[in-house]
């Protein structure tokens, strides 16, 4: 889809013009100046929400300068950077904290509706308005399922915010296993030493830093993932794309909607949202209820494994979590709102020296 750098100036100009037009639409959408319905009425979007195949807009529309060849997209600037010249660092491991006792305020089964002053820069907010500190919808319908049965043992807290230098990088392994990278060396948000440092309004990540984050869990150890929204209050301060309301989806997790990043359960800057991940095997109330199956187990701190109830066939290991905001998932993920989640078990406990017969 990307044009070669030796394409004609006319074709490069045509592709760049179409890209700018697309960017203007994305910007207007993200600033709430137009809606998808408006764009459909204008004839710019199809009923399915796709860009119309129109020259000067879609990269797939036929070029005016070449028969039966799409317009394409202009090549990205590389600033002279060459491929395979920079090691890829390991993920940045999120700190696991013992809970209860770490989080303040303490997590609750139902949403914490304690009121706080709202920032007037938020849409529709007037001076003196207040709102809840937690963005989870209130009431029992949105309460954490089986919160008392699986109280959090581990707390992990992150803040989505604009790009900033990482001074606390934790790869979780020695430098010898991480391409010789010294974790004490500050890491600015850029993807190669030869590329520019990224604008804090254009890159939004967990804790505002790179490398992307890695959440670590294990079966039988419920996690409370507190996600704080530290993005700009002004919806227009987004670098032209993405939106400052967020919802975190733990991709493929066995969680209810209240903890799985339902697209409509988003929260605003200045709020937090508590996600409760029980980390249990499916069928725990009907299958292997006595926790006797050695394959249904989790590594423990003593160097062995602890058996858990449930169906080991449902064991999950490698997940990722990402923003799930309605209509803006792709934009927010592109801005950097994504991380990895490793879940350890008897099938994948990261310690090859454990001889548990599994």
Q: Residue 16's CB: how many other CB atoms inside 10 A?
A: 14
116, two tokens: 């706080």
- What whole-number percentage of the chain has pLDDT above 70? 100
Asked if the model's pLDDT at residue 303 lies above 90, the reply is no
Q: What is the pLDDT of residue 350?
A: 79
Query: Which residue, among 330, 321, 222, 337, has the nearest Cα to 280 in the 3D structure?
Result: 222
List the Cα angle 321/216/164 in 5-degree steps.
65
Average pLDDT over residues 56-73: 90
**pLDDT (tens digit per residue) in 182-219:** 999 999 999 999 999 999 999 999 999 999 999 999 99
pTM for this predicted structure: 0.94
Q: Is 309 exposed, middle or buried (0-12, 13-18, 19+ CB in 10 A)?
A: buried
Average pLDDT over residues 240-255: 94
Asked if the model's pLDDT at residue 169 lies above 90, the reply is yes
Q: What is the pLDDT of residue 137?
A: 96
Average pLDDT over residues 42-54: 90
Q: Which residues 6+ apart lie within 8 Å of 5 measured at CB?
A: 75
* Phi, psi for 29 (deg, rounded to 5): -65, -45
DSSP string, 37-72: HHHHHTTSB-TTSPBP--TTT-TTSBPTTSTT-B--
- What whole-number percentage of the chain has pLDDT above 90? 89
67 vs 292: which has the higher pLDDT = 292
Is 222 in contact with 277 (CB distance < 8 Å)?
A: yes
> Before 195, cis peptide (omega within 30)?
no
Asked if the model's pLDDT at residue 307 lies above 90, the reply is yes
| Mean pLDDT, the chain, whole residue set | 95
99, two tokens: 């809970």
Q: Residue 27's CB: how many other CB atoms inside 10 A?
A: 16
Is 32 in contact with 104 (CB distance < 8 Å)?
A: no
Q: Domain residues of the chain, as ranges?
A: 1-76, 90-358
Query: Which residue, among 47, 51, 43, has the nearest Cα to 22 in the 3D structure?
Result: 51
pLDDT grade for 55, boundaries at 50, 70 and 90: very high
Is 285 in contact with 357 (CB distance < 8 Å)?
A: no
Assigned CATH topology for domain 90-358: Immunoglobulin-like (2.60.40)
**pLDDT (tens digit per residue) in 348-357:** 987 777 777 7
Is 91 in contact with 213 (CB distance < 8 Å)?
A: yes
Q: Which residue has the tokens 């009431």?
A: 139
> Before 100, cis peptide (omega within 30)?
yes
Q: Is 67 exposed, middle or buried (0-12, 13-18, 19+ CB in 10 A)?
A: exposed
Asked if the model's pLDDT at residue 339 lies above 80, the reply is yes
């Amino acid at each position: 889809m990307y044009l070669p750098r030796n394409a004609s100036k006319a074709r490069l100009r045509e592709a760049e013009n179409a890209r700018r037009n697309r960017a203007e639409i994305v910007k207007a959408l993200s600033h709430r100046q137009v809606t998808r319905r408006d764009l459909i009425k204008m004839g710019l979007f199809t009923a399915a929400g796709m860009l119309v195949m129109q020259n000067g807009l879609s990269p797939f529309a036929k070029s005016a300068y070449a028969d039966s060849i799409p317009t394409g997209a202009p090549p990205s600037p590389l600033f002279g950077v060459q491929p395979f010249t920079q090691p890829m660092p390991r993920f940045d491991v999120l700190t696991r904290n013992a809970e209860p006792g770490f989080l303040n305020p303490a997590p609750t089964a139902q949403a914490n509706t304690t009121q706080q002053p709202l920032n007037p820069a938020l849409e529709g907010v007037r001076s003196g308005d207040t709102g809840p500190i937690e963005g989870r919808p209130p009431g029992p319908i949105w309460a954490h399922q089986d919160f008392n049965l699986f109280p959090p043992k581990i707390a992990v807290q992150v803040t989505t915010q604009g790009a900033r230098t990482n001074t606390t990088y934790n790869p979780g392994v020695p430098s010898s296993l991480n391409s010789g990278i010294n974790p004490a060396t500050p890491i600015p948000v850029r993807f190669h030493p030869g590329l520019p440092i990224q604008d804090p309004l254009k890159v939004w990540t967990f804790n505002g830093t790179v490398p992307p984050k890695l959440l670590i869990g294990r079966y039988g150890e419920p996690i409370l993932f507190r996600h704080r929204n530290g993005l700009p209050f002004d919806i227009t301060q987004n670098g032209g794309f993405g939106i400052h309301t967020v919802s975190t989806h733990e991709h493929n997790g066995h969680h209810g909607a209240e903890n799985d990043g339902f697209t409509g359960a988003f929260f605003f800057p200045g709020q937090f949202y508590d996600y409760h991940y029980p980390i249990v095997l499916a069928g725990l109330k009907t299958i292997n209820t006595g926790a006797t199956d050695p394959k249904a187990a989790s590594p423990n701190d003593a160097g062995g494994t602890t058996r858990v109830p449930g169906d080991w066939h449902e064991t999950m290991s490698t997940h990722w979590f990402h923003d799930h905001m309605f209509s803006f998932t792709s934009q927010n993920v592109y801005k950097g709102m994504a991380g990895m989640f490793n879940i350890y078990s008897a099938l994948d406990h990261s310690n090859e020296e454990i001889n548990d017969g599994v």
